[in-house]
Amino acid sequence: MASLRVRYAGADLGGSMPIDSTALREAQIFGRNRFARDHRMVAEVLAGLTDPALILAEGAVARSGARLTAFVKRVLASDPKGSFIVAGSGGCPALSIGETTRLRVAARPINPWALFERVRTVFVDDWASAAEARLAGCAVARPGDDASSLTAADLVALCYGAGVHYFDPWTRAPIAPAECLARVAWLRDRFCDNDRRTVFVGISRWKRPALDAFLVGPEGAPVHTMTADDAVAKARRHGAQVRVWATRMPERLEPLCAGAGVPLARIEDGFLRSVGLGAGLAPGASIVIDDLGIYYDPRTENRLAVILRTATFSADLLARAKALRDLVVARRLTKYNVGLSDQSGPWPKDRRIVLVPGQVEDDASVRHGSPVVRSNRALLQAARARHPDAFLLYKPHPDVEAGFRTGAIPETEALTLADRIVGGLSIVDLLDRVDHVETMTSLAGFEALIRGRSVAVHGRPFYAGWGLTEDLAPGADRGRRLALDELVAAALLLYPRYLDPVALKPCSAEQLLDRLSAARDAVGPSRLALSPMAILTMRARYWVVNPIVRRLRAKRGIERFRDQRR
């Protein structure tokens, strides 16, 4: 995560106003905001000290061990009998001071707001660092400089007023102070949410930068390993949690984590992901982290199913879900945002148009979630049998069409069942023109639902069984009926996390839509958002390089994964 500052010095943009003091006090942001939310560290720092004062290590004094040491010595000399804490939002460097009985140094970053109500006085080296302490009601002092006449408003104006300008942390566009305060506070909270360090296992190198940005936190950046034993050992060493790509989980990882008491969760792409395919190494901008199972495997419980089955959806959340759904539809966005517009001419107006989206046949969602219809050929046959008079469109999965994955049907054979093959076309363009979607477990079914199309489901995807789809698989009913925006709220707001792929900072779903729209428009329509040479390279990677890499890993003792899907 990049530096999270409340204020940014910049060119004169027409002046700025001081930040609102009440909002600043309520938000309790400070400096770079890279500290833990947990106040146990505060108790540890205060333990054994009687009526301590705080020596605030902020700004230039915090960046120089020699300068901080000199500042601390001046404070100690001003009160020979007092006890003191040295702390700051960025942590403190080592101090060359022999005094130990009445001095405690917090080496790690700590939120000064958590200390203000527990100390008698706050000593600062620069009055520009005193605003928050005075807002919290503390006495503020600077050795050798009497500025008792400075009010809290004076200090806020000194720190946040003239010459200070405010920028959006994601886009760097100028914004009002109140907006900047709210956005930095939101980012601070996302950073604090990652309160345990993360150990990843088996993550491909090209995925690591984005995943690291999702899960960096107060305990540091994630650690990467390639075996279950290493992952559990490092998790125990760091007091960390283990995260693994759901389809690449080593077979022994779950029992090892359970035996060691190490938290384990699976990771997968979210439902608004990128411009380009994961198979084409396009980094994902959304993930789901599931501590129970994973959404595409109905054999076990998963966090999305729990949300859908038990959540109470507030009016505000549903309003946001509807607005997000409308925005996704208006901007014509999908999970991968690839495909061409249809140039094949008019479709029949006197026949029902049914879309059959193909899938990767060895995907876990098909193997475990579609008990009867389990291949693209069988799906086409079932769709034709159910809709004998319809105009049937078959859309091969992009990964299959590119030759990356299994599930291809020869064109001549597919055309004995389908009226037209629409490979390479945008799923949005197709959904705009069809009446109905027939699928196993494809996300195209969910994308069709949010666009008002009817959907029949032969498997048990996350969106089936809630009364929104025609459910054809045995045991699909979930025992609860949901409105469409309740489904959207769970799948697009409560379950995933989002990342701005440009700024590499956590962001909201709405912010990601802006980035996806801009990236798609910049690339322009394409079958796969890949050049012909890139497609050939990726085919070589999947069918030649990957098997060699797996054999080499096996020789090095890197265990095989449960499901070699990616």
Stretch 14-28: mean pLDDT, rounded?
A: 77
Domain ranges in the chain with CATH number 3.40.50: 21-168, 334-481
* Domain 334-481 part of CATH 2.40.50: no
What confidence tens digit (pLDDT) does each residue in 343-394 have? 666 789 999 999 999 998 888 888 888 889 999 999 999 999 999 999 999 9
Stretch 134-162: mean pLDDT, rounded?
A: 84
Per-residue confidence at 424, pLDDT binned at 50, 70, 90? confident
How would DSSP label each residue in 379-402? HHHHHHHH-TTSEEEEE--HHHHT
Least-confidence region, from 38-47, 77-86, 112-121, 502-511: 38-47
Average pLDDT score, the chain: 87
∠ CA 271-273-279 to the nearest 5 degrees? 110
Whether residue 114 is predicted with pLDDT greater than 50 in this model: the reply is yes
* C-beta of residue 45 within 8 angstroms of C-beta of residue 35: no
* Domain 21-168 part of CATH 3.40.50: yes
Per-residue confidence at 522, pLDDT binned at 50, 70, 90? confident
Q: Say how far apart CA 189 and CA 219 lie, in whole Å.
A: 14
Alpha carbon 446 to chain centroid, angstroms: 21
Residue with tokens 């639902």: 449
Collapsing DSSP to helix, strand or coil, 139 comes out as strand
What confidence tens digit (pLDDT) does each residue in 259-318 have? 999 999 999 999 999 887 765 677 899 999 999 999 999 999 999 999 999 999 999 999
Whether residue 175 is predicted with pLDDT greater than 80 in this model: the reply is yes
The more confident residue out of 279 and 508 is: 508
Whether residue 332 is predicted with pLDDT greater than 90 in this model: the reply is yes
**pLDDT computed for residue 557 by the predictor:** 47
What confidence tens digit (pLDDT) does each residue in 432-463 have? 999 999 999 999 999 999 999 999 999 999 99
Q: Say how far apart CA 47 and CA 301 lie, in whole Å.
A: 44
Q: What is the CA radius of gyration of the chain?
A: 28
Q: Say how far apart CA 5 and CA 1 lie, in whole Å.
A: 12
Whether residue 493 is predicted with pLDDT greater than 60 in this model: the reply is yes
